[in-house]
Structure 1
Amino acid sequence: MASSKEQVEISKFMGFLQDWDHGSKATRQHILNDFINTSRGKTSPELELQFAQGASLFLTRLTAWLRITYMVGTCVTEQLQAIGIFYQQQVGNHRYLVEVLEVGGLLTFLEILKLKQLQEDAKQEALKLLQIIANAGRKYKELICESYGVKNIAECLANSKLEKTQEQAQILLEQLAQGNPKYQLQVYKGLIALLPCASPKVQQMALQALRTLQSVVKMVHPCIVEPLLDILRSIHYEVQYEVIEFIKLLLNYKVRQALLEGLVARLTPSMDNIKNRPKILYGTHIKPTESSPLYVQQAAAAKVIGIIIKESTDIAEELLQLRVVHHLMIAMGNLEYADSQKQACLAVEYLIHTFPVVEEHVRKAMGEPFYELYMKNPENMYLKMDSIQAAVLVENKVNIPGSAEVEAE
């Protein structure tokens, strides 16, 4: 038989449950806030003691009310925080976690991420709970992925306006790829799908996560090349930095040839692409010319090439086979975008100093006076270039012996 003290605690707990069962929305919200404030940090045994060994009865009521009310937004944040109290400090003991999952809690958390009418703080709490579930082990990560979790989480990352929510989604996606071989490629592809997103912050986070996961996945899906190179259109420095670092990493994989070919191709954007390119990459406070996105991409491609040829002679030689000098000189002649000229000038200068054959052909294409003027100050040549000199560069016919075109002839 229970002692008198235990009977008092049981009676008190039953009264608590009655208050919840018959309480209004305001009453339940008050109970939730009181529970959150007084129980944060408690272990499972402490929670059981607090509820006279009946903590699961309260947890069941929490999850049931959440499933009924989450679509209309009733105290969703508080309910999720309260469920989180049960999840904390359950090292090696997933009892409460399993109880919530058995009544559909996982699907509810994932659905919350999709609802536009819910506040961002509710989505943050749902993401935190999903992180705890993912941390419980591989089978739980697989369960999230099997429940279309990657899609919901990726969409939450893409659609959220608050950086804090985006960060929680990024963390969760990285968790789902770690120690989850069955679904790590699904997460990887989900991140690739985020690359065309209009939000620079989302692009940055997706690139960061992809770089982190690359050593885990140990392969590269060919579908990554085009969206990755397209991000070179971004005018945001932090995005440019991430994409350049990721491209450098991927040059060690089988997509190396496709990346190099893509970089060279983007040194000479076609006028059709320039005219038809949508302007969604720009914020409303920026009014660029119609050609700006692809010229930004042109400059970025020249910058990437300038970086990678300095880090690898082998890559520089491969680029020579792709007629990179010819395309760089066209970019040097782009009077509409100074950064394209500058980055291309620097890349060509390095190739001239590294490969005597490049010096010979560039000198011939430019003519002696123009070449001498260029070599005096390559970094600032773009500031002094006139339209005649630019035309000489654009019309250059540089063909390094051994290039693809020469071999074809």
Structure 2
Amino acid sequence: MTSVKEQEAIRKLLVFLREWDSAHKVARSCILDNFIKSNDGKTEPELELEFSQGASLFLARLTVWLRMTYVYSTCLNKLLKSIGIFLSAASGHRYLLEFLEIGGVVILLEILGLNHLKQEDKRESVKLLQLVADAGRKYKELICESYGVQSLTAFLAASDSAEAQEDVQVLLDSLGHGNPKYQNQVYKGLVAVLLCTSPRAQQLALQTLRSMLDMVGEMASVLVEPVLGVLCSVHLGVQYEAIQLLKGLLAHQVRPTLLKGLVALLTPSGKKTLAFCDETSQDPTTLCPREPVLVYVQQAAAAKAVGVLAKESAEVAEELIQLKVVHGLMVAVGNLDHVASQRQASISLEDSPETWYTEMDPVQAEELASNTVDIPRDLARMQSTETNPGVS
């Protein structure tokens, strides 16, 4: 027989559950507020004591309501936080199993793909997935089997919340370690993130890929082209992480391919490297201010990477020299086409000072407008160099 105290506790539990079952949205929101405030951080025994050994009955109601309403964002943030109290409870492994039995992982992943939901709701979903992954290898596999990597990497690339992106990075890093069955899937998903347009996502993906290099072996070869691509980013944080990853790649068999690709970035393939305003949009006699030119960013980033890698190893420096990196650096620093245009403009000015401006092309005009030029001195130096090649 149960004691009077136990009977009273059971009666209170039944009253609470009936109150929840009959409550509408506003009332349930208040119930969730009180639950979060009074139970955050409690252990499994403490939660069972609070609910007279019937905490699972309330968890079941929470998960059912989540399944029914997550698409409509009905108290979603509070609902996820309440479920998180159960999943994070010490010694509360059975709560996790109960949540997974109703398809909890699939629901959390679907939340990430719903564009109309708030970023903070999606972040709470990621936190719950992290609690699932922290439970062990088979739970990491469950997330991956539910197309979790695809959902997480897509959210990482599209999210505009830095905090949510950092939470996703932590989860992907967790899924990429201690999960040999799916670590290559995580690796490929992170490589795909490098092709997105979010600099923060690229930076976080590069950091995680660097931590996985030793595990993926020769799959590192798929990294070379994407990493060289993001190395040319105008964002210095992305450039830094790309260079750090390149340093790690030097220990793999992809080093020759990597160095060749890096040297190739020093010499742009296209001839048009300067951007001009549309002639129809303004007075054609007015010069446009210099715009950021991606090819110069590419050259600068590649030159920076060459310098860092050469300092890392004398052997790497020697390989770079054999790849004619010096010529590439001269192109990057001086931009030979750039200099030739300036010299040609100087010659034209010297030969025909009254009509030279009618023969200039846009590149020459840009050069003369943006540089202080001592034409006689430059012309004399050029002629001296052509007459005496050994004199600099």
Question: What TM-score comes out, normalization by structure 2 length?
Answer: 0.80
Instruction: Return the letter of the residue paired with 1:30.
Output: C
* SS of equivalent residue, structure 1 residue 221: helix
SS of residue paired to 1:298: helix
Q: SS at the partner of 2:160?
A: coil
Aligned to 2:5: 5
Map Cα deviations across residues 133-186 of structure 1 (whole Å, 9 max, x no partner): 101000000000000001111111111111110110000000001110111111
- CA, structure 1 residues 64+246, in 2 after alignment: closer, same or farther (shift >3 Å)? same
Code of the aligned partner of 1:297:
Q
Do the aligned partners of 1:109 and 1:126 also contact (CA within 8 Å) in 2? yes
Q: For the structure 1 residues 19 and 212, does the alpha-carbon distance in structure 2 shift closer, same or farther, using more than 3 Å as the test?
A: same
Show CA shifts across 1:173-217 (max 9, x none).
000011101111111111111112211111111111111222333
Report what 2:122 is aligned to. 123
Call closer, same or farther: CA 1:237–1:314 in 2, change over 3 Å: same
Deviation at 1:273, TM superposition (A): 8.5
Does structure 2 retain, via aligned residues, the 8 Å contact 1:232–1:296? Answer: no
Q: 1:272 to 1:235 in 2, by over 3 A?
A: same
Structure 1 residue 225 corresponds to structure 2 residue 239: no
Equivalent residue number for residue 27 of structure 1: 27
Which protein has the larger Cα radius of gyration, Structure 1 or Structure 2? 2
Mapped partners of 1:385, 1:40: distance in 2: 73
Range moving further from structure 2, 318-327 or 188-197: 318-327
Residues 364-386 of structure 1, C-alpha deviation per residue, up to 9 Å, x if partnerless?
A: xxxxxxxxxxxxxxxxxx99999
Separation in structure 2 between the aligned mates of residue 226 and residue 385 of structure 1, nearest angstrom: 43
Q: Which amino acid counterpart does residue 85 of structure 1 have in structure 2?
A: I
Alignment correspondent of 1:70: 70
> 1:337: Cα distance to partner?
8.7
Distance 1:264 1:85 in 2: 53
Would you say the 8 A contact 1:267–1:331 is kept in 2? yes
Q: Distance in 1 between matches of 2:67 and 2:167?
A: 22
CA distance in 2, matches of 1:289, 1:45: 68
- SS of the residue corresponding to residue 235 of structure 1 reads coil
What is the Cα deviation at residue 311 of structure 1? 2.3
Q: Is the 8 A contact 2:141 2:181 kept in 1?
A: yes
The worse-fitting range, judged by mean Cα deviation, of 167-176 and 266-275 is 266-275
- Alpha-carbon separation, structure 1, partners of 2:22 and 2:114: 28
Letter of the structure 2 residue corresponding to residue 325 of structure 1: V
Q: Could you list the runs of 5+ residues in structure 2 that have no partner in the other structure?
A: 276-287, 340-370, 386-392
Separation in 2, partners of 1:53, 1:383 = 83
1:267 paired residue number: 266
Q: Which residue number corresponds to residue 143 of structure 1?
A: 142
Matches within 5 A, 1:180-329: 180-271=179-270, 292-329=293-330
Once the two structures are superposed, the pairs formed by residues 78-93 of structure 1 within 5 Å of their partners are 78-91=78-91, 93=92
Paired residue type of 1:215: D
Q: Distance in 2 between matches of 1:14 and 1:212?
A: 50
Q: Percent identity?
A: 52
Residue 47 of structure 2: aligned partner: 47
Indicate if the aligned counterparts of 1:295 and 1:337 stay in contact, CA closer than 8 A.
no
Alignment partners' CA distance in 1, 2:225 and 2:272: 15
Distance 1:288 1:220 in 2: 45
Contact 2:106 2:146 in 1 (8 A): yes
Which residue number in structure 2 is paired with residue 356 of structure 1?
A: none
> How far 1:326 moved relative to its partner?
2.3
Change in Cα spacing, 1:215 to 1:50, as seen in structure 2 (3 Å) is: same
Structure 1's unaligned 5+ residue stretches are: 277-286, 339-381, 394-409
- Residue by residue, what CA displacement relative to the aligned partner does 1:289-343 show, whole Å, maximum 9, x if unpaired? 67712220111111111222222221122122222222222223217999xxxxx
